[in-house]
Amino acid sequence: MPSNNSKYSEETRERTAKFILESRKSATSVAEEMGTDKNTVCCWVRDFRRKNHLSSYAEVKVLKQATRRVDKEINKKLKARGKQIVELEEEEEILKKSLRIFTQPL
């Protein structure tokens, strides 16, 4: 919790944290622009996340990694299915041709 003698108002802390989360800028770069200690700004972001029941940075990072892993697996399966579809379409064409040959009158 912020101390009573903080030189930044609650509104400033919240706006800064919200800006960081929405702009996806790093807390460090924003802190440098403001001339504030990076740990202070990181605490503002952490407190804002907690207050608004948002996922922490670590949780977001884990979710992104899991999503990438799942996406890779899905793409791999789609590629395999695509190959299988092409093979089945070729097989179907061969069967159609052979059916035409065998159903022709002598």
| Successive 10-residue mean pLDDT values, the chain, 106 residues | 70 94 91 93 93 87 93 97 97 95 85
pLDDT of residue 1: 52
The residues near 10 (Cβ < 8 Å, ≥ 6 apart) are 2
Which pTM value belongs to this model? 0.57
Among 29, 68, 21, which residue's Cα sits nearest to residue 47?
21
Check if the beta carbon of residue 41 is closer than 8 Å to that of residue 30.
yes
Handedness of CA 94, 95, 97, 101 (dihedral sign): positive
Q: CB within 8 A of 31, min separation 6: which ones?
A: 37, 38, 40, 41, 42
The pLDDT value recorded for residue 24 is 86
Please tell me the predicted confidence (pLDDT) of residue 4: 53
